[in-house]
Amino acid sequence: MTITAIITLLLITTTTATTTTTLPSDISALKAIKSAINPSTIPSYSCLGSWNFTSDPCANPHITHFLCGFSCSSNRITQLTFDRIGYSGTLSPLISKLTQLVTIDLSENKFTGPIPMSLFTLPNLQTLILRSNSFSGSIPPSISNLKSLETIDISHNSISGTLPDSFSSLIMITRIDLSFNKLTGSIPKLPKNLLELAMKSNMLSGNLLKNSFSELAQLEVVELSENLFTGTIPGWFFLQPSLQQVNIANNGFTGIEIFKGVDSNLVAVDIGYNKIGGYLSGNFTAYPVLSSLSLRYNQLHGPIPAEYSKKTTLKRLFLDGNYLSGLPPKEFFTGKSSVSGSLGDNCLKSCPTSSQLCLKSQKPSSICQQAYGGKVKPKS
Ligand SMILES: *[C@@H]1O[C@H](CO)[C@@H](O)[C@H](O)[C@H]1NC(C)=O
Ligand SMILES: *[C@@H]1O[C@H](CO)[C@@H](O)[C@H](O)[C@H]1NC(C)=O
């Protein structure tokens, strides 16, 4: 090859690089996405305000046009990451033409209408964040097509319907946040590499089923508070091998089974505001690193097992709002225990008000007598 030929080749290469032309179908998808948004909600200083199709989206440098809201890799759009400015409108189904998309983050805007079905065909999508919008409709079974999906956050929207069984085939997914929606039905079988599951504040119901949680060797965080779950919290639930934090407060659970968790990493458990009756088992104290436990506002009866007052890892203990009776373990009050929290609003005898654990007063004896069938006289 002659020097001239090499120079010519270089010139051609540089020329093509500076005039990178975005794949035409990606450009038309961006146009459709912008035009589905109400123009009055696109300020000139916003990312979408800078999307002016007289220039090429992926061509550098970006001086006045296409300043932000997306990323390219060579001539393809790989990320849609909108600013949180209150764009209102719908999400165009033509988003599915952006087949190289890896990340979609449209959080904290005012999108309405369904998540387009076509979005669930994007083969390379790893991150889908639509948090804090007003998306409605349901999550279709075809979500299982998103084979690369690692994170999904559609929290704070108006998603309804039941969760599809096909969820379990999302084998790359580690983080699911569908909190603050209108989901109904039970929890389907969950994908096996899940680390964090959050479905707080929906209308999910039924029992916690072994089938949903089987084989979840990495599950660390479960946030299912403010739903309509019922039945007995099964013993295996707390024994999941990687579990660290559980919040299942504000449901309709009526019972609890606690097996001793010798190898457990469980740090924090919140089961407050349910309808759990029966006696309080001391078995939670067998969890080696348990630091925070709430069973407040349930219907627990009987004594507080002394183990709770001797467990050195325990820093926060909320047992208030039950019908616990008898003398509270004195170790709580000897200055050795570092537990804070509350034992108030129970039927305990002689809870020393010098301790902040006892600041909230106990129930009136008439209520306690009624709770114990009038046979026991729990408070002198
Ligand atoms: C887009 O850019 C062109 C050239 O810079 C300009 O004339 C035009 O007014 C712009 N359009 C909008 C909608 O801002
Ligand atoms: C405490 O744990 C043991 C061993 O896991 C179990 O056999 C027992 O039933 C549990 N007791 C209560 C009251 O749950």
pLDDT in tens, 315-366: 999 999 999 999 999 999 987 778 999 999 999 999 999 999 999 999 999 9
Q: Does residue 124 form part of some domain?
A: yes
Look up tokens 């998309």; give the residue: 101
pLDDT over 70, % of the chain: 93
Residues 241, 253: Cα–Cα separation, whole Å: 23
Is any ligand 2 atom within 6 A of the Cβ of residue 260?
yes
Mean pLDDT computed over every residue of the chain: 93
Q: Is 281 in the pocket of ligand 2 (CB under 6 A)?
A: yes
> How many structural domains is the chain composed of?
1
Q: Residue 183: enclosing H or E segment and its boundaries?
A: strand 182-185
Residue 14 has pLDDT above 60, yes or no: no
Instruction: Give the pLDDT band (50/70/90) at residue 19.
Output: low
Nearest CA to ligand 1 atom 9: 52
* Cα gap 104→27, rounded to integer Å: 16
The boundaries of the domain holding residue 137 are 72-371
| Residue 220: exposure state from Cβ atoms within 10 A (0-12, 13-18, ≥19) | buried
Please check whether residue 50 lies inside any domain of the structure: no
pLDDT of residue 63: 84
Q: Indicate whether 9 pLDDT > 60.
A: no
pTM summary value: 0.91
Instruction: Tell me the CATH number at 124.
Output: 3.80.10.10
231: number of CA atoms within 13 Å, CB side?
Answer: 10
Q: What is the pLDDT of residues 36-51, one digit of tens each?
A: 999 999 999 999 999 9
Contacts of 17 (CB under 8 A, 6+ apart): none
What CA–CA distance (Å, rounded) separates 85 from 44? 11
- Residue 373 pLDDT exceeds 50: yes
Pairing relationship of beta strands 316-318 and 292-294 according to DSSP bridges: parallel
The closest alpha carbon to 140, from 156, 116, 122, belongs to 116
pLDDT at residue 285 above 90? yes
Is pLDDT of 108 > 70? yes
Instruction: Tell me what pLDDT residue 314 has.
Output: 96
Q: Of 313, 210, 323, 203, which is closest to residue 268 (Cα–Cα)?
A: 313
Establish if 379 belongs to a structural domain.
no
Q: What is the mean pLDDT of residues 365-378?
A: 79
Assess whether the C-beta atom of 65 lies below 6 angstroms from ligand 2: no
Q: Which of 102, 152, 151, 139 is nearest to 122 (CA)?
A: 102
Q: Residues 279-315, buried b or exposed e (16+ Cβ, 10 A)?
A: ebbbbbbbbeebebbbbbbbebbbebbebbbebeebb
User: CB under 6 Å to ligand 1: residues?
Assistant: 52, 54
Angle at 120 between CA 145 and CA 146, to 5 degrees: 35
Query: Cα of 67 to ligand 2 centre, how many Å?
Result: 61
pLDDT band with cut points at 50, 70 and 90 for residue 375:
low
Segment 296-314 shows an average pLDDT of 96
Q: Is 87 within a domain? A: yes
Task: Tell the residue nearest (CA) to atom 10 of ligand 1.
Answer: 52
Coil, strand, or helix at residue 211? Answer: helix
Q: Give the number of the atom of ligand 2 that is nearest the alpha carbon of residue 259.
A: 5
* Residue 12 clears pLDDT 80, i.e. is over it: no
> Residue 40: inside a domain, yes or no?
no
pLDDT at 5: 47
> Looking at 12-26, 56-70, 242-256, which range is the least confident one?
12-26
Range from 6-20, 253-267, 330-344, 359-373 carrying the lowest mean pLDDT: 6-20
pLDDT in tens, 135-166: 999 999 999 999 999 999 999 999 999 999 99
Q: In angstroms, what CA-CA distances link 57 with 35, 127, 140, 150, 155?
A: 16, 22, 31, 27, 30
- Asked, for residue 61, whether it belongs to a domain, the answer is no
Q: Measured between alpha carbons, how far is residue 116 from residues 85, 119, 374 in Å?
A: 21, 6, 60
In a domain, 60, yes or no: no
**H or E segment and range at residue 198:** strand 196-198
Q: For a pLDDT cut of 90, what percent of the chain falls above it?
A: 89
pLDDT of residue 364: 95
Is the residue at 286 inside a domain? yes
Q: Looking at residues 190-197, what average pLDDT do you find?
A: 97
Local structure of 72: helix, strand or coil? strand
